[in-house]
Amino acid sequence: MSSDHIHPEPTTFLRKHVFSIDHKVIAKQFLWFGLIWLGIGGIMAMMLRWQLANPGVPVPLIGGLLFPRTGGVIDPATYNTLFTMHGTIMIFLGLTPAMIGALGNWCIPLMIGARDMIFPTLNMLSFWAMFLGGAVGFYSLFVPLGATEVGWTGYPTLSTTVGAVGQGETLWAIAVFLIGASSIMGGINYITTVIRLRCPGMTWMRMPLTVWGLFLTSILNVLFIPVIGSAMIILVLDRVFGTSFYVPASIMSGGTGGDPILYQHLFWIFGHPEVYILILPAWGVVCDLLSFFARKPAFGYRTSVGAMVVVTVLSALVYGHHMFTTGLSAMLGESFMLLTMIISVPAEILFFNWLHTLWKGSLRLTTPMLFAMGVIFVFGLGGLTGIYCATIGTDIFLHDTYFIVGHFHLTMAASALFGTFGAIYFWFPKMFGRMMSERLGKLHFWLSFFPLVLVFCIMFISGYAGMPRRYYDHTSAEYLRPLQHLNVATTVSAFLLGVAQFIFVFNFIKSRWWGKTAPQNPWDVGTVDWTIATPVPHYNFKTIPVVRCGPHEFSNPVLGPDTDWIYQTEELPG
Amino acid sequence: MSMLSTSTPSFAFLRSRWLGCPLALMLTSTWALAQDKRWGPGEPASDYGYRFGELFWLITTLVSVAFALVVVLLIVPMLRDRARPGHRASFDHGKSLHDKRLTAVISIITFIVLDAWVLVIAMKDLREAYWAIPAAKDPQTYKVEVLAQQWAWSFRAAGVDGEFGTPDDILTTNELVVPKDRPVSFNLTSKDVIHSLFLPEMRMKKDLNPGAINLAWFKPVVEGEFSILCAELCGFAHYQMFGKLRVLEQGQFNEWEAEASQLASTAFDADDTEGHWAWDWQE
Amino acid sequence: MNTTGVIELHGDGPVNQAPPETGRDRVNATLGMILFIGSWTMAFGTLFLSFLVLRDKIAVWPPAGIALPSAPIAGLATLVLAASSVFVERGSRSLSLDAGSGRKASFSALWITGMLLGLGFALLQAWLWYDLILAGRTQTSGLYESLFFGLTWVHAAHVVVGLFLLVWALVGSKLGRYGPERRSFVSNAALFWHFVGIVWLFLFLGFFVF
């Protein structure tokens, strides 16, 4: 797989833009792919919110087109499909490619001074496996008995033939498997690249924290995606070949049966690391961006790295907190509660370092900076509300209510999304050679930030008031009817959030083709990727750079009064 | 999808895509605002409910203070430390021994205040209440076997004779009647997919897994009618899988139990094997 | 990829001629393969964990009174696969011993023997299934059969992939694509084949020994 020779620059369209093995092109492919799916998942979220605020009222504008059979109304089965696919799409087809695929492919080789990923062909396969997974997932929306309706967690026995007939769920499992395969390929590539292709002088402790985040994410990808892969294989065996891994004897027509709880363990052994898979790159980006735009070294670089490593190690040991109501034994339950509380310590250290980086800085409130600070706010809210969910005493009531929905959206969805936005605004000039509009960027931030916080904070109230999630219509139960005003408020905020994203779409497309030409280093940042020309030449570095200082030497007094930054390839004076 | 027609308003003009939908949003909003509004889960009706409430508000207090601190530390630099001509950031890698000690001390303090404190109280609650499932032998314990299926709750109480699997077992669907001030102990399982018994006023929730029996309990301390909801996605009518929980004074309850047991024995059909799903009580 | 020095991309010389592998390239390739095997160990570890959890639900192990897969055949299959791994490994090592001397004969002989033994394992595995199906037991018959068929199917899929890699390496070496100077693919194929063998060993131990 390792291609150890220099290819000439491809000339045909197919080799240049479609089946390219150039990490920069693959990064852009992942970015476009991820953004399109984020859009689709976002529209699904809007439809879900519409249904919750207006149960049984036709969806405006697109309803008649999408659901002609019901005259534009979302029926309960479709509603279940929508939230299942919303979750699956956002996690596997939206954030994973946009965050890990695009950012990883773009940043890792450029920031460590490499000419490409170490296995370029594997890199290309990684994108096309993901593409195939997306295609299978998309196709599953149109099979005769409908797409999967069992939630993105796919718990058996609802996800076996006991509760889900037709091909939808099988195709979903296959799609998840393919996307997982893509992530593993990417992960192997990233890890090997970081270990083997760091340029001379780029020691582990001189790597930008973005690369650290992506590196640790890749380790989690390589270790834990296979777990869901196997769980999906077993699910497909049960569904298609009639085995009984997940189907208990009481449901089998005879003989011995399996255990549906086994799946929950397997799923969350993967599922909890997956949360960190999505958030670690965002943490890395935030660490870097705060330092870049506060013009101050990242406070406690080593402790930040250590904290992220500890999170990586602990991530698989806390998964049981997703299963407090499943019927864990007292001993297991209390152990998972304790471990979950312990994993908050490294997160606290990161917060401490972030806030300390800002303190007494010289803040340039550019769009990437705003988004990085937004991550602190949003992740702070999400992380702190995690205490309710980690404590069994409160979780038994809050489990599977909107409180949980609010919590995990703030931690893994909104934070990862804000991190992604920050990264896109930041690397866009290097990626496409043009500047994004700062004015529109800031507008996008503020118009996203307030509705986003509102959406999920109202969900905390709804959840505390006992509103279960995955309900088609909360007005049908007497107990939930007085909570409808919260649903309406959430929906209005969600629509505002949705509308604000059009600013981004407009800004992205306009800047991509008609933006101002970007200078080589618009942000005055010293990492290796900004030392090369824009657009980045074929194979990035004509001569492999030699790194002589860390990535965050901002405002170092030895630089003299005229400048407050230095390239990593330059020697610190004195 | 027959339930659709019930929830779709019959106003034809609402179906007009352009005019109807914003109008519908306005109407539902107005309607929702006109409703009785609730901002919390209501008064607890079980003894555990009070423990939940105390713990919830303790965490809320701690979390609010911590978050306020984060916001202040976020906003102060935003206002005070903006880039301006002649202003230079202080140069600090934060890698001195002093910084490391500070990091350690602050994270330990945060852990103790935010996590350990909550942990200790939670452990106490769990040991004293949540996991202290009352003994089945205790005559005070009211035992109920719950069998969930898509999309209904079946409850089985032992009846006057106190034995499961006898003709006087009281079987109810989507309605559970329990005595006040006595611990109610559940054996929970499911016929098809995973469900979750959610008694919001009692602050209780437990999954019902097919092929295994889960245990749970609560002690109602308030008389009245309460809700039973399903909290684990179980198919397209998940949202309609609700029932009613009635808590009666002991005297009233005895009357009800005697009558229900009597009725059950009269109507007992020995050939109805489907109806005899009782199992040996699990502890 | 050329990871060091200056590159002249628009020079006159042909830039896509494959130079011999360096030691650095071999380390890269092996590291990638080790990561891949680590990942796949988690995948099979998951299956094996499921096996252990579910096996606990079967009161008597192995189940009494039903047809079981034949332990002697499985034992023979284990020996055949182990022998296959030995030959494949010796074939792979013969390449590095041959580096510089230009010989290739010993590689082909060892490699083909390993491949044939691998094929022999596949046939024995098929025999195990066939026997059980003849006795009326299929994957739908019960939990034991689910475990046996399910896990051996997944393993067999990897046997097929492994055999394909072995064939590919052989064909490549005949075409001159792989040889003593460029042997990463061969050694990686051998590594994968050993991994497949070790997985089988665990399955054998789980189903037939303990």
Contact at CB, A227 and C53, closer than 8 angstroms: no
Q: Are strands B224-230 and B204-208 parallel, antiparallel or unpaired?
A: unpaired
- Rounded CA-CA distance A30/B150 in Å is 41
The band of B2, judged by pLDDT with boundaries at 50, 70 and 90, is very low
Query: Does the pLDDT of residue B237 top 90, yes or no?
Result: yes
Residue type, A212: W
In whole angstroms, what separates CA A101 from the centre of its chain?
A: 10
B142-269 has which CATH code?
2.60.40.420
Contact at CB, B94 and A77, closer than 8 angstroms: no
The CA distances from residue B2 to A69, A296, B7, B11, C59, in Å, are 13, 63, 10, 18, 45
**A-chain residue closest to C31, CA distance:** A192
Question: Order of strands, edge to edge, in the sheet holding B152-157?
Answer: B170-173, B152-157, B142-149, B184-190, B214-218
The CA distances from residue A36 to A26, A32, A140, A505, C149, in Å, are 15, 6, 18, 10, 40
- Taking the CA atoms of residue A546, residue A551, residue A557 and residue A558 in that order, the dihedral angle to the nearest 10 degrees is -10
Q: pTM for this structure?
A: 0.94
Interface A:C, Cβ pairs < 8 A: 163
Task: Render pLDDT for A239-248 as a digit per residue (tens, 0 to 9).
Answer: 999 999 999 9
Query: Does the pLDDT of residue B43 top 50, yes or no?
Result: yes
- Is residue B103 within 8 Å of residue A300, measured between CB atoms? yes
pLDDT at B23: 67
- Is residue A362 within 8 Å of residue A296, measured between CB atoms? yes
Task: Render pLDDT for A175-223 as a digit per residue (tens, 0 to 9).
Answer: 999 999 999 999 999 999 999 999 999 999 999 999 999 999 999 999 9
- Kindly state whether C161 is in contact with chain A, defined as any CB-CB distance less than 8 angstroms: no
The CA distances from residue B275 to A202, B156, B245, B268, C75, in Å, are 72, 10, 22, 9, 50
- Is residue B158 within 8 Å of residue B143, measured between CB atoms? yes
Q: Which residues in chain A are closer than 8 Å to C24, comparing Cβ atoms? A: 196
Instruction: Please report all neighbours of B, defined by 3+ CB atom pairs within 8 A.
Output: A
Among B51, B205, B227, beta carbon nearest to A477: B227
Nearest to A211 by CA among A284, A300, A303, A119: A284
The number of beta carbons lying within 10 Å of the beta carbon of residue A532 is: 18
- Kindly state whether A232 is in contact with chain C, defined as any CB-CB distance less than 8 angstroms: no
Q: Kind and range of the H or E element at A229?
A: helix A209-241
**C-chain residue closest to A259, CA distance:** C54
- Which domains are seen in chain A, by residue range? 24-559 (1.20.210.10)
The 3-state DSSP class for residue C183 equals coil
For the record, the structure tokens of B12 come out as 């034809």
Query: Does the pLDDT of residue B4 top 50, yes or no?
Result: no
Q: Which has more pLDDT, A305 or A14?
A: A305
- Is residue A458 within 8 Å of residue A490, measured between CB atoms? yes
- Rounded CA-CA distance A17/A36 in Å is 17
The 3-state DSSP class for residue A318 equals coil
Spatial CB neighbours of B136, under 8 Å, sequence gap ≥ 6 = B143, B185, B281, B283
Query: Does the pLDDT of residue B26 top 90, yes or no?
Result: no
Q: Can you spell out the DSSP letters for A350-362?
A: HHHHHHHHHTT--
Instruction: Please report all neighbours of C, defined by 3+ CB atom pairs within 8 A.
Output: A
Query: Does the pLDDT of residue A310 top 90, yes or no?
Result: yes
Nearest-CA distance B86 → chain A (Å): 9
**Domain residue limits, chain B:** 43-75+101-132, 142-269
- Is residue A282 within 8 Å of residue A416, measured between CB atoms? yes
Spatial CB neighbours of B102, under 8 Å, sequence gap ≥ 6 = none
- Is residue A283 within 8 Å of residue A348, measured between CB atoms? no
A-contacting residues in C 171-210 (Cβ below 8 Å): 184-185
Task: Render pLDDT for C18-70 as a digit per residue (tens, 0 to 9).
Answer: 567 888 889 999 999 999 999 999 999 999 999 999 998 888 888 888 888 99
The mean per-residue pLDDT over the stretch A501-528 comes to 95
- Which domains are seen in chain C, by residue range? 23-54+70-209 (1.20.120.80)
Question: Testing the interface with A: which of C146, C183, C185 to mutate, by most A Cβ within 10 A?
Answer: C146
Helix axes A260-294, A367-390, angle to 10 degrees: 140
Q: What angle do CA B184, B185, B186 make, to 5 degrees?
A: 120
- Is residue C76 within 8 Å of residue C124, measured between CB atoms? yes
Q: Kind and range of the H or E element at B148?
A: strand B142-149
Nearest to A410 by CA among A444, A456, A373: A456
Cis (ω within 30 of 0) for the bond into A312? Answer: no
For the record, the structure tokens of C41 come out as 């160990």
- Rounded CA-CA distance B260/A401 in Å is 35
The number of beta carbons lying within 10 Å of the beta carbon of residue C161 is: 13
Nearest-CA distance A559 → chain C (Å): 30
The band of A17, judged by pLDDT with boundaries at 50, 70 and 90, is confident
Least confident among B221-230, C12-21, C59-68 = C12-21
Helix axes A209-241, C143-175, angle to 10 degrees: 120
Q: Which residues in chain C are closer than 8 Å to A188, comparing Cβ atoms? A: 32, 35-36, 39
Contact at CB, B107 and A345, closer than 8 angstroms: yes
Nearest-CA distance A217 → chain C (Å): 14
The band of C102, judged by pLDDT with boundaries at 50, 70 and 90, is low
The band of A140, judged by pLDDT with boundaries at 50, 70 and 90, is very high
pLDDT at B19: 58
Among A259, A327, A397, beta carbon nearest to B203: A397
A-contacting residues in C 31-70 (Cβ below 8 Å): 31-32, 35-36, 38-40, 42-44, 46-47, 49-50, 53-54, 57-58, 63
Q: Which has more pLDDT, B154 or A10?
A: B154
Task: Render pLDDT for A288-299 as a digit per residue (tens, 0 to 9).
Answer: 999 999 999 999
pLDDT at A28: 96
Percent of chain A with pLDDT over 90: 86
- Is residue A389 within 8 Å of residue A426, measured between CB atoms? no
Task: Render pLDDT for A317-365 as a digit per residue (tens, 0 to 9).
Answer: 999 999 999 999 899 999 999 999 999 999 999 999 999 999 999 999 9
In whole angstroms, what separates CA C187 from the centre of its chain?
A: 12
Contact at CB, A483 and B100, closer than 8 angstroms: no
Query: Does the pLDDT of residue A138 top 50, yes or no?
Result: yes
Question: Order of strands, edge to edge, in the sheet holding B243-248?
Answer: B175-179, B243-248, B224-230, B195-199, B204-208
The band of B220, judged by pLDDT with boundaries at 50, 70 and 90, is very high
Residue located via tokens 């160990």: C41
Among A70, A76, A485, beta carbon nearest to B33: A485
For the record, the structure tokens of A250 come out as 């009481």
The band of C100, judged by pLDDT with boundaries at 50, 70 and 90, is low
Contact at CB, B67 and A384, closer than 8 angstroms: yes
Task: Render pLDDT for C107-145 as a digit per residue (tens, 0 to 9).
Answer: 899 999 999 999 999 999 999 999 999 999 988 888 999
List the beta bridge partners of residue A517: A434
For the record, the structure tokens of A151 come out as 């939630």
- Is residue C32 within 8 Å of residue A120, measured between CB atoms? no
pLDDT at C99: 62
pLDDT at B50: 94
Q: Which has more pLDDT, B218 or B8?
A: B218
For the record, the structure tokens of A394 come out as 């409160």
Across chain A, mean pLDDT equals 93
Contact at CB, B28 and A479, closer than 8 angstroms: no
**A-chain residue closest to C56, CA distance:** A258
Contact at CB, A2 and C17, closer than 8 angstroms: no
- Rounded CA-CA distance A40/A91 in Å is 12
Q: Is the ipTM of this complex over 0.85?
A: yes
Q: Which residues in chain A are closer than 8 Å to C3, comparing Cβ atoms? A: 114-115, 196-197, 544
Across chain C, mean pLDDT equals 88
Scored b (16 or more CB within 10 A) or e, A267-281 reads: bbbbbbbbbbbbbbb
Nearest to B205 by CA among A417, A503, A466, C31: A466
C-contacting residues in A 533-562 (Cβ below 8 Å): 537-539, 542-544
Q: Are strands B214-218 and B184-190 parallel, antiparallel or unpaired?
A: antiparallel
Query: Does the pLDDT of residue A7 top 80, yes or no?
Result: no
- Taking the CA atoms of residue A290, residue A296, residue A302 and residue A303 in that order, the dihedral angle to the nearest 10 degrees is -60
**A-chain residue closest to C4, CA distance:** A544
In whole angstroms, what separates CA B149 from the centre of its chain?
A: 18
For the record, the structure tokens of C206 come out as 């789980």
- Rounded CA-CA distance A99/A130 in Å is 14
Query: Does the pLDDT of residue A56 top 90, yes or no?
Result: no
pLDDT at B103: 93
- Rounded CA-CA distance B232/B229 in Å is 9
- Rounded CA-CA distance A345/A454 in Å is 27
Q: Which has more pLDDT, A461 or B18?
A: A461
Query: Does the pLDDT of residue B18 top 50, yes or no?
Result: yes
Among B106, B196, B203, beta carbon nearest to A325: B196
The band of A254, judged by pLDDT with boundaries at 50, 70 and 90, is low
Instruction: Please report all neighbours of A, defined by 3+ CB atom pairs within 8 A.
Output: B, C
Residue located via tokens 């749970």: B216
Query: Does the pLDDT of residue B149 top 80, yes or no?
Result: yes
Interface A:B, Cβ pairs < 8 A: 360
Contact at CB, A387 and B59, closer than 8 angstroms: yes
Nearest to B247 by CA among B186, B187, B183, B152: B183
**A-chain residue closest to C186, CA distance:** A1
CA count, 13 A, side-chain hemisphere, B253: 19
pLDDT at A253: 64
Across chain B, mean pLDDT equals 88
Handedness of CA A73, A78, A84, A88 (dihedral sign): negative
- Is residue B114 within 8 Å of residue B66, measured between CB atoms? yes
- Is residue A171 within 8 Å of residue A232, measured between CB atoms? no
- Rounded CA-CA distance B239/A469 in Å is 9
- Rounded CA-CA distance B79/A445 in Å is 18
